[in-house]
Structure formats: structure tokens, C-alpha cells
């Protein structure tokens, strides 16, 4: 069965530091991959998606993610974190039946 | 900026009550979804719809029911609420095919 793993439950970084959030998937065919962000009291907002082509995809708010088929990974990165980036981040993959599977999320805390 | 609306945002209610959580979208999306979200857990799909008069159960067993009489409206009903139903419920919609889902801000439900 398809699955998504986000190994880090909680990450703390200092404002201005770089960020990488990990995502690994288990899926036999070519995956469709997504990153969403959820601020407190709100729904999920799409940051970026990968369907095909260039394995480095750019998203909103200065985020990017790189698809690595050999590692079954789709890690999210940002070169310089802002305090407003503090939120919960979810990786997702579209499964065979076109349903979206989400990871358990990584909570990001930003230190001043 | 959300084009998908959920009401109420918060609901605290006693055991045994009938509850309807409302979800409406103005994007004309055919597909709509209901997820249950608990802290530190992945989102669990409880219901989805491919269009008017289409409803399907998701992966997570749920005692709730849904209806899709109009494209824009996808309400979720609990006939008799129990404390185990306490959770956050997120509604989402998407175009047909593999497309990102757009989320509402959720309903946080507490059953006493």
C-alpha cells in the first residue's frame, strides 16, 4: 500500500537559518507529490507539487523541493526561514486510486 | 482567499446530538473530500465524492454520512455524536484527475 513518511515530528530552526524537511514515500509507479502548509486554525495550503519533468520544483513563499527517485524522497527546503514560516508541514502522494495520502506532518518552530 | 468554506468553525455539543458540518466551494470542482485530522497524525480520508449524487467511503471507518445534491455543497452528518467523534474535520475539493486539493479552514468538533 502507498504510504508517506515524514521522519521528523518537530523541528526547531533559528530565523534566517536554512531548512530541510524530509519526506519519503512508498509507491510503485511514478508518483505525484505535494507539500502543504497548515498554520494554526487554518486549512492546508499548497506550497508546491511535482508531477513530472525537472526534479527541482519551486513553490510559493520561497520554498523548493527536490524529487529523488533513487531515494524515494521529496524533501522540502528553504534557504532562509522567516518567523512566519512556523507551521505544520505535510507531504502527500497521490495513490493508485487517485486518492491523496498524507504524512503525519512536521511541526516547524522558528526561534528569534 | 479560500474559496471553500466550512461552518461552523468550532462546535462544542453534548453526546447524542445530531450534527451537520457544512462545506461549500465556489470553484465548480467536481471532487470533494472530508478528512479527519488529529494532532500528530496524518489526515484520514473519511468520505469523498466524484460529483453530484456520488458519495464514497474513505479509508477511515466513520459513523458519519455525506450527501452531494449540488456540486458546490458537501455536508457531513453525525446522527448521534459521541466523545470519540471529537476531532478536527477538514473539507477539500479538486478538479477531476490528479490535481491539488483546496482545503477549507476546518471545523473543530468537541463532543462532551
Report residue A7 as a C-alpha cell: 521522519
Compute φ and ψ for A51, nearest 5 degrees.
-115, -45
Q: Give strand ranges (E) for B1-112.
A: 4-7, 10-13, 19-25, 31-37, 44-49, 56-57, 65-66, 76-78, 87-94, 102-103, 107-111
Q: Yes or no: say if A102 and A38 are a contact pair by the CB < 8 Å rule.
A: no
- Give which of A110, A109, A105 is closest to A7, Cα–Cα: A105
Range(s) of the domain holding residue B32? 4-111
SS3 B88: strand
> Which residue of A lies nearest to B37 if distances are taken between CA atoms?
A104
Do the strands B65-66 and B56-57 form a parallel or antiparallel pair, or are they unpaired?
unpaired
Distance from CA of A99 to the nearest CA of B (A): 9
Per residue in A24-73, pLDDT tens? Answer: 998 867 789 999 999 988 899 999 999 988 999 999 999 999 999 999 99
Q: Which of B2, B90, B98 sits opposite A94 (nearest CB)?
A: B98
User: CB distance A43–B106 less than 8 Å?
Assistant: yes
Residue B89, min C-alpha distance to chain A (Å)? 10
Based on the structure, what is the number of domains in chain B? 1
Give the CATH number for residue B83: 2.60.40.10
- Domain spans, chain A: 3-111
Q: Which CATH superfamily is domain A3-111 in?
A: Immunoglobulins (2.60.40.10)
pLDDT, tens digit, for every residue of B38-90? Answer: 988 889 999 999 999 999 998 877 789 999 999 999 999 999 999 999 999 99
A23-47 b/e (C-beta count within 10 Å ≥ 16 → b): bbbebeeebbbbbbbbeeebbbbbb
For B5-52, the pLDDT digits (tens) are: 999 999 999 999 999 999 999 999 999 999 999 988 889 999 999 999
Amino acid at each position: 500500500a502507498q504510504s508517506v513518511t515524514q521522519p521528523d515530528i518537530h523541528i526547531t530552526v533559528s530565523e534566517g537559518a536554512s531548512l530541510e524537511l524530509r519526506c519519503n514515500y512508498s509507491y510503485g509507479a511514478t508518483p505525484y507529490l505535494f507539500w502543504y502548509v497548515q498554520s494554526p486554525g487554518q486549512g492546508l495550503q499548497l506550497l508546491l507539487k511535482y508531477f513530472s519533468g525537472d526534479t527541482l520544483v519551486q513553490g510559493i513563499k520561497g520554498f523548493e523541493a527536490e524529487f529523488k527517485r533513487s531515494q524515494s524522497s521529496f524533501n522540502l527546503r528553504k534557504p532562509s526561514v522567516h518567523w512566519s514560516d512556523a507551521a505544520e508541514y505535510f507531504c502527500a502522494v497521490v495513490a493508485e486510486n487517485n486518492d491523496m495520502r498524507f504524512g503525519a506532518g512536521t511541526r516547524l518552530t522558528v526561534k528569534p | 482567499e479560500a474559496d471553500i468554506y466550512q461552518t461552523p468553525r468550532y462546535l462544542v455539543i453534548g453526546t447524542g446530538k445530531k450534527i451537520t458540518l457544512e462545506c461549500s466551494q465556489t470553484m465548480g470542482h467536481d471532487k470533494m473530500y472530508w478528512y479527519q485530522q488529529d494532532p500528530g497524525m496524518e489526515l484520514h480520508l473519511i468520505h469523498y465524492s466524484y460529483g453530484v449524487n456520488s458519495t464514497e467511503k474513505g479509508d477511515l471507518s466513520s459513523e458519519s454520512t455525506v450527501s452531494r445534491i449540488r456540486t458546490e455543497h458537501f455536508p457531513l452528518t453525525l446522527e448521534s455524536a459521541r466523545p470519540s467523534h471529537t476531532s478536527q474535520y477538514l473539507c477539500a475539493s479538486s478538479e477531476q484527475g490528479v490535481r491539488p486539493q483546496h482545503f477549507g479552514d476546518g471545523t473543530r468538533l468537541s463532543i462532551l
